[in-house]
Structure 1
Amino acid sequence: MTGSAAESLHACRTNLGPAPRTFDFGDKRRYLRIPLPEWIAAAEPLREILWQQNTLLREGRLVWASLVQADERLFLPGVHDHPSTVIYSPDSAAFDEHPDRLRAMAHALKAVKSAGHEDPERGAFAAMLADETHYLPRVRVPKSLAGDDEVYCTHIIVCRRHLPDGVLRSALFPLIIHPDLTPRAMMLPSRYWPPELAG
């Protein structure tokens, strides 16, 4: 990523436009909407993302997200979409310019998952991350990791056609959220990313 993180996110916001947004139906059908995955029956809670994606696209706002864990197939060329675990903060003032702080927390969460902890809060969070059949709607990251920052962990569906070249290459990306209407979130389709972010 060249330039400042805040500039890249601002470019995404400009490209997407202010809410409420309207999209050409054909364009939305072909590109913007996440298709129904074949595996959704085994991940029923994630169906809510599909129900809420129109609301997110039309009314949501953009923040940085950092990847905690993802299906390894997303890092290779392929055709199927897969779920992933991410963290984000609705506090733009704290993280627009410093998404690297989110990335550091994501690394710490990954370490929490693979290590035992006497701290009950961290232990409970580690158990949730380890259970890959438990799809989080939105859970606050433990204060022992996030401090006073408002940071949440959630699952998203990573849609191949929303990725540059169809491959997940970066741990940081813009996420669409609307905390007032839904705990779910979705990756901003890369059509709206600036070149420095997509490259």
Structure 2
Amino acid sequence: MQNALADGNLSIGHRERRYRRVKKPSWMRFQKDPVLQQQLDQHEYLLENGQIAWCAVIQANELLFSDGPHDHPAAFIYGTDKRILEDPEILTDAAEGLFEIKGRVTTPEVQHFADRLADETTSDLKLPVPTELTNGIQCFYTTMIVFRKHILYGRLDGRILPILTAPHATDAVTILPERYWDIEFINNVW
């Protein structure tokens, strides 16, 4: 994966049906969410054309931290800056900072994120995060469905994940299927 991260490209072949097809979670039948629907609609495109980047979990449905059959949404911070590719801990620090302001009164630049995180039913795509929270590096806040079949052990065990992004084509992102994760990442980060 590190080599793939270095050049930023990965194409998941047509024979990888297990990863290419994702089902709309049953809860989305009752709760229409255009942001999460866009992720579903762009999933295959991202698998075919996406560039690999890092993301960090800000907050997630608590069910994602244990075994279970259903996919759920989570809020993430990600970036495509070369400094993040080299040091993804930048994202975990920013994610912790964002989570700490959840529901609090803060500076006008950051208040929008404090409010968005407090309203756990709101989904967003590619919102620029104030650079004061990211050491001056451009990062984005996003909500996406965590497909259990795409993560090791089917649950969130780590804070950092590889994602696929296509910033010039779509604001949606998706988690890189675990089949493509590097063993070093699994052993040292996850």
Relative to the length of structure 2, the TM-score reads 0.89
Correspondence list, 1:147-186, <5 A: 147-186=135-174
> 1-side partners of 2:149 and 2:12: how far apart?
20
Q: Aligned pair 1:109/2:104, yes or no?
A: no
**Hey, what does 2:64 align to over in structure 1?**
74
Shift of 1:144: 2.5
**C-alpha distance in structure 1 between counterparts of 2:42 and 2:68, whole Å:** 25
Deviation at 1:55, TM superposition (A): 1.1
Name the CA distance, whole Å, in 2 between partners of 1:56 and 1:192: 14
Secondary structure of residue in 2 paired with 1:183? coil
Task: From 40, 47, 57, give the equivalent of 2:47.
Answer: 57
CA distance in 1, matches of 2:3, 2:135: 29
Q: Report how far residue 169 of structure 1 moved.
A: 0.5
Is contact 1:82-1:159 (8 Å) kept?
yes
Percentage identity across paired residues of the two chains = 33
For 1:143 and 1:137, the matched residues in 2 are separated by 17
1:43–1:133 CA contact under 8 A, matched in 2? no
Q: How many residues align?
A: 185
Distance 2:158 2:12 in 1: 28
Superposition map of 1:83-122 within 5 A: 83-91=73-81, 93-117=82-106, 119-122=107-110
Distance in 2 of aligned mates of 1:152 and 1:10: 22
Q: Structure 1 length normalisation: TM-score?
A: 0.85
Structure 1: which 4+ aligned runs deviate by more than 4 Å?
11-14
CA deviation after TM superposition for structure 1 residue 196, in Å: 2.8
Contact 2:90 2:134 in 1 (8 A): no
Q: Give me the whole-angstrom Cα distance separating, in 1, the residues matched to 2:137 and 2:89.
A: 14
Instruction: Tell me, in whole angstroms, the C-alpha distance in 1 between the residues paired with 2:161 and 2:134.
Output: 19
How far apart in 1 are the matches of 2:163 and 2:25? 20
Q: Please say if 1:32 is aligned against 2:24.
A: no
User: What are the ranges of 5 or more consecutive residues in structure 2 without an aligned counterpart?
Assistant: none
> Corresponding residue for 1:141?
129
